[in-house]
Every structure is written in structure tokens, then in C-alpha cells.
A and B are shown apart, each in its own frame.
Chain A
């Protein structure tokens, strides 16, 4: 088949990202031709500020060099400005500086012409030494001017203006920032934060003239003719200026489109008008993405929304036709090294809004969260922006925050995640500081990878550096590093909305829903129904799918061992040297002399190198060869302890009133009872319980998925505690009087989690996501629903057979045992 022709006008971040996304989906669909007005490959425009500041070089900010275009068979016309679109003959016409003309025909056309700096109509704006701030040429001109001249004036104290001013100052110029409004960055910051930022920049030597209107740029005599020499204000005062950078905002660059008769709006919202599929409203063959676009009345000037647009646009160009762009919520960060500012949403206040404010002028910290009807609508952070991504996420998700209101200001991690010395301010960390304690990745390594490889998302950083890819406790830190390195280009993606993995566009929630609604019972059927992009998934999606099938349709869905992680497939825990560890079941942590003798005999017979007591009150035999597993199980004569599964692990108990002089309840018996009830329960992640016989809580019920604490009048139930990566105290669910109620309520909570939790989501994260109110409503307040949940859990675990017994029996089926046997060659 003859390939269709796709022409891209605008060789910038939005357009090229769209092409990259398209090549991933349909590499052979189009012959692609790219026109760029600048004589370069595609570079990371956001990093021009660090280049100006001398912190990075131009080669470091290239995203796609010329080889990339060649390797992908893309024709690139760099340094050619498209001057006309002929929609009737479906071609574009471009001119080079030397006047030569090139034409290119298209079947589909993608416009990504970006924006142009807005230069207000001030007399003298055409003088030499007056620049906008947009591209490599502007940046190079500024660097050159800094080498020869002394006085710089930046007009406009927005994000771009301040970054330009900072760069020029670092290059030795005397810089004055002139601003029309009463405080700097007035669109991103409130006055309090702006004042702090201004004071901090002033301390570095930057000067400010606020509430000043520029009347004219005054010409002087330069070597090469009329050059600007001063800026004059409306009040008649003048300041010297050898270089004037106008950063008074940007305007979408839609002139080319408008001249071709494509609707570009009128009045306030000007830009190439596109639909949710990123097609121009005028011509369905023509698409547009990026800063030149007006979508639902909004023009975006930050890069993150452009990437979202690119993804949707590529999907439609690839003829897949799924996905709509529905607009973006944006946040901003100022990229001035050593200064941390974050802002998102609407913080102008209003009749229904309320503020939570922390203002430590001396300590240089200001945090303001604006709340409306129990939801975050905006936030401004200065000095400590560690929780910016979290607030932003809560705002985007529209999450009800009244439950966490009292500690909202102290951030998400005020209890601390383990593994990086409690560090929670990435900006303050040295390059040599370890960020990921699992894989030993330092901050400098992450920053380098982000810059050199042009990474924009958390997933990309995880893939390339391995940081945050093991236990994940440093995810927040890595996100901060990403945000501070690429600035506004980083857009946190809600973990709940993002696809399960690259094999599908569906999120965990979507997959759960489809499995339930369409009664999907096998992995091949589920993948076919949900149009998986890979033939049989990957190591991320298959275990998740398998869990969703068996938890939604117990006794009906087909459990696929090949889709389970090795530990669940071999019913033992794999160790670094490929041997396994075996933990026999010991209900409630109670054992007998007979069991201990057998364990000792097994340890001797198989020369087991390490015998260890676990944190969950069990005995772990480590260093067993794969071939020996069935023999070890047989000799032990004990059931599997499931220490390897996303399943019930252990119920830890204290001795309770059976022996203890303080005990108020029989905690051992309760624990044994619960553990028996839950035997064979698979869950989104591991589940640990504890039962303590009195409030002294020796079984540590406060940090368990379900914690039970006996009191004289009954039992208190706590849920969603965690003692691992994230230390989180369990939340009080309710108090009950009898052991049967403990069983019923605990089982109902766990069943709710099993039905609603996403694979690999611990109860702490699940309850964070859905809210404790939701759990209470369905488990505590609604008795019928509680009993139904309880019934479904009992049904799911009914007839569960001990997997060790099944595999070590003399007459065990060959397929069950073959994985433990080695072949000979």
C-alpha cells in the first residue's frame, strides 16, 4: 500500500512529540516531512533558561538530533519557514533564507507553530538590542550582549522574565526587572509569596521596578547604528539599558493557519481552534497541537498539556480513533537554581473559599492552600515545595480533603518513608546524595539522565535510572527532582488514571470494571476483549489481570500459574542466588514441640544454611534448592505459610488473657481463628493482621492491615496500617463486642479491599484513595452489605487446598511438580 503523506509544520517540542507518539503506534503509516523555521533539530525549549544561566550547554538540550530524523525516515527541512498552506491542492510552501522555495504535498497536515513573544507597541521596540525570549537565537544574542554590555532591563516579571533576568545576572550584567503589576509573577503567585521571592532575588543582586509603565525605549549610538541606551517610563524617569528583553507574555502563532482560512477565533481567545481530537474545526485533514492551539477556549503556554495533546493527536493520526483531549490543569515551577516556587490552580480567593496558610518569613517558607467545598482549588508554595505534586494531585483528582485537613499543611510524608534518611526536599540535596536506597541511585545520576536523555515522566526516569523502581518509597523525591529539572514540563500523572502498563491504555480501574461487567474468566479472553496491544502482556499486567479474574470470579475464573510471579508459582520465596525460602504455616505464631522437631530435622537433612524467626512470628528456612522444595514440604508435614504471596501472610498475636496478667481478651485464640478463616485469601497485595489482648498492644496491631486490640468490653478494630516502606498508623474503624463480630468486620473490610483495591496497592494506599468514610459506610454502617461482603470472602476461600500438600503428595499430578524438576542434557 502506498504510504500517506504527513507534513508537520513546526519542529518544536509539541509537534515532534506527536510524531514520536505516532511512530510508537504506527511506524509505517506515513511518509513524514517536517518543516522548522529554526536551523536545528528539536530541542528542549524549557531548558533555554539553564543555558542562558550557563548551567547547561546547547548540545545538552537537544531532544532529537539530525540522526533521529534520518533513522526514522523523516524528511527534515530545518531553517525553512512555511509561508503558505494551499488547502485546495493540499500542499505547503516553504521558503529558505536564500529565497529558494520548497513545496510538500500532504494527506494530513499537523500544525505546531508554537507561539511568539508579545512585544507591546512601545516606541523604539525595533531598535538593536531589544529582544524577545523564545528560541536559541534569542538566547545566543543575550549571551553575546552579556559579554559586551553592562545594563540589562527585562520588561515583565513573569516566569520567563525572571528566568531571563537571573541568567543575565549570572552572566555578570546589572539587571533591572520592570513590571506593570504591583507584584511579580502575579498570575502564579499571591502577594505574600511574591514578596518573599522578590526579596530573595534582590539579595542576589536583581533590581525591581514595580507598577511601572514603559513609555519608550530610547536610542543611543551603537557601533552598528541605533542601539537602545535607556528605558523611559510614563512618570518621566529613565534608567540605562544596553539590552532590553521583552518578556511581556506570549501569543499563539496562528498567522499561517489564519491566512489559509482556518478558524482562529476572534476577540479574547485567539489561536487555531481545535476539537477534542486535535483536528482543526475548519478542515478535518488538518490537526494542530501545542501553544498555537485554542482548545475549549484555553491556550496553553506550558509544555505538559502539549504532551497530552500530542498523545491524543497521534492516536487519531494512527487511525485508532480512541482518546479525547479534554483540557489540562497546569502547575508552574520557577527554574531559578536554589529558589523553590510552586503554584497551581486558582488562589485569587472568593466568597466560598478558605485558606490554610503557613508563613515563616524568617525561615523563608510560605505555604498557602486554597480550599473550596472541602476540595483544593489552588496552592502557592515558596521555599518548601516538597508537597507541591501531592497538592496538585489532590486538586486534579478533586479529592475530598476534610478527613486529612488537620495535617494537610504538613504534607504527605510527614511520617516519613524509609530509605533516604527522611530527606524530603530534593532541591536541597547534594548531587552525591542517595535518592533511591534500593538501587543506590544518587541525585546527580537522575538529573544527568533527565537532561541527557530528555526524560519527562516518572516512568521514563524509573526505566533509565532504576530509581524508584524497586520499593518505590523515593517516588516523591524522584518526582521533585524531575519537576525541578524540567520545570513546568513535568506533569504528575495520577497513578489511578494511568495505564496498567504499555500493553494497554486502560487503567487498573478500567480493567477491574471490564472484568466484572463482561464476566471475563481467562487471561486470553480478557486481553482479546480489552484489545491488549501485545500478544500476551508482560510481567506487569499479567499478574494484575490474573488477580482481577480470580478475585472477581472465584471458582469460575481460570487461575493461570504462568501469569503469577515466581514466588506464587513455586509457593516459596526466591532469593538472590536462585534458592528459595520456606515458611510453614504457624497459626497465630503458635507452634508445638513436634513441629519444632520436624523443622529441626528438615534443617539438618537438607543442610539448610539459615533458620530465622520472621517479623510475623514464623520460622523461615532459607537457602533451599528448587529441586528440594517438594521433599522439604513433605518432610515438614506442615501447611504453606503463604509468606510468598499477595495474600494473607500472618496474624501476629500476643499471649493475651490465656497467660498474661494484663490481658483482657483471648488474643491467641482470636488470631488463630482469623488466620484459619483467611487461609487461601489472595489479595491485591500482602495482608498482615495482628491481635493484641490489651491496649499495651504487644502484637503491634497499630501498623497492620487489620489490627485488633482487645479491651475489657470487647475488641477495637483498626485498618490500613503499615509498617514497611511507609510507616502509617492504622485508623480506628469501629469497636465490636464478640469474636464472631471481629471475624465478620475484618473479613468484610478485607473483601472490600479485595474487590476495589488495585493490584499491588496496600490497604494503606487503598484507604487513602477511597477514604475511610467510604469504608465505614460499607462495612460498619450498612449491616446487610457487611454480611454480604463477609459471605463473599468465605465463598472465595472455601475448599482452598494447601498448595504444598497438593505438590508433595506421592500421587501429585506431573504438571504440578515439573517446575521443580531439572532436565538433563
Chain B
């Protein structure tokens, strides 16, 4: 199955600066926020363990906004057709096949920093 991702420009490892986007509390637990960037919308997730993850906000299936999905464990379910993705890697959960791009994100001093 071809993924929407293939049509997107791929950022190289070196490209991108760390940017502070919000405080950790600004992201709901088991939820996400959308971040505008030059590379399109990025979904930044927070799970129950306060881990944060960042994915391109486009499902590999039909480009649905993953930020609006339900977060569980270390996965998110797309709101459009229920595909599941690993938050850490952006890989679709089997038996579906596809991938959305994962970005680097960290939390320091309660601030969420994203590499874009």
C-alpha cells in the first residue's frame, strides 16, 4: 500500500532546530495538540505516563488528523478509519501497513520542545 508520506518532503536528520512549543500541562493527558510548522501540521501527544511524542499529523492511510484520535498506551487510533500507529516510530500497527513521520520531541523543565 502506498503511503501519503511518500508524497511529502522528507526532512534530513540535520535539518531542524529545537523549539519550545508549550508547557506539558497544555497538552491533555491521553491527548494531543496541533503545532503549525513549515513542514505542515505536527501532532504532539502526551500519554498517561507523561511521555510525549510527535508525529506528522497525517494518517498514512487517508491523511486523517492523528492529533484528533484516541491515545492509548504508546499508540494512537486515527479518527477517520481506525488505523493504529505507534507513537514512537510512526509505524502502523499490523495488519495495516504504512508509516507517518516521527519527529524528535522532549520535555525539559515542564516545557515541551520539538525539533522542526
Contact = CB atoms under 8 A, between A and B. Distances in A.
B69 interface: yes
Contacts of A537: 72
For A470, A537, A818, the residue with the greatest tally of chain B CB atoms inside 10 Å of its CB is A818
A574 B22 contact: no
A823 B73 contact: no
Interface in B69-105: 69-73, 75, 77, 79-82, 84, 95
A239 B80 CA distance: 65
A569 B79 CA distance: 11
A537 B73 CA distance: 7
B49 to A, nearest CB: 8
* Most-contacted residue by chain A among B30, B42, B77 (CB, 10 A): B30
Contacts of B65: 574, 578
Contacts of A562: 28-31, 70-71
Given A539-B69, A565-B70, A574-B80, A825 B31 contact: no
Interface string B17-45: 00101100010111101111100011010
A225 interface: no
A815 interface: yes
A581 to B, nearest CB: 14
A812 to B, nearest CB: 15
B22 A823 contact: yes
Given A464-B95, A562-B29, A574-B68, A469 B80 contact: no
Given A562-B29, A563-B70, A578-B65, A825 B80 contact: no
Interface string B41-58: 110100111000000000
B57 to A, nearest CB: 8
B33 to A, nearest CB: 6
A437 to B, nearest CB: 15
Contacts of A470: 81
Given A464-B95, A539-B82, A825 B68 contact: no
Nearest to A567: B79
A309 interface: no
B42 to A, nearest CB: 7
Interface in A504-545: 534-539, 542-543
A355 B101 CA distance: 62
B19 to A, nearest CB: 5
A818 B22 CA distance: 11
A566 B59 CA distance: 15
Contacts of B79: 565-566, 574
A542 B37 contact: no
A124 to B, nearest CB: 51
B21 A535 contact: no
A724 to B, nearest CB: 19
Interface string A399-436: 00000000000000000000000000000000000000
B116 interface: yes
B33 A536 contact: no
A284 B26 CA distance: 55
B62 A538 contact: no
B62 to A, nearest CB: 7
A538 B34 contact: no
Nearest to A574: B79
B114 interface: yes
A566 B69 contact: yes
A566 B73 CA distance: 18
B72 A825 contact: no
Given A819-B31, A822-B35, A823-B21, A535 B73 contact: yes
A691 B44 CA distance: 46
A565 B79 CA distance: 7
A825 B95 contact: no
Nearest to B49: A535
A542 B70 contact: yes
B48 A535 contact: yes
B26 to A, nearest CB: 6
A530 to B, nearest CB: 16
19 contacts: A469-B82, A536-B73, A538-B70, A538-B73, A538-B75, A562-B28, A565-B79, A566-B79, A569-B68, A574-B65, A576-B62, A626-B34, A822-B33, A822-B35, A823-B21, A823-B26, A824-B36, A825-B21, A825-B114
Interface of B: 19, 21-22, 26, 28-31, 33-37, 41-42, 44, 47-49, 62-65, 68-73, 75, 77, 79-82, 84, 95, 114, 116
Given A535-B73, A538-B75, 12 more contacts: A463-B95, A534-B72, A534-B73, A538-B72, A539-B84, A562-B71, A566-B69, A574-B79, A819-B33, A822-B35, A823-B21, A823-B26
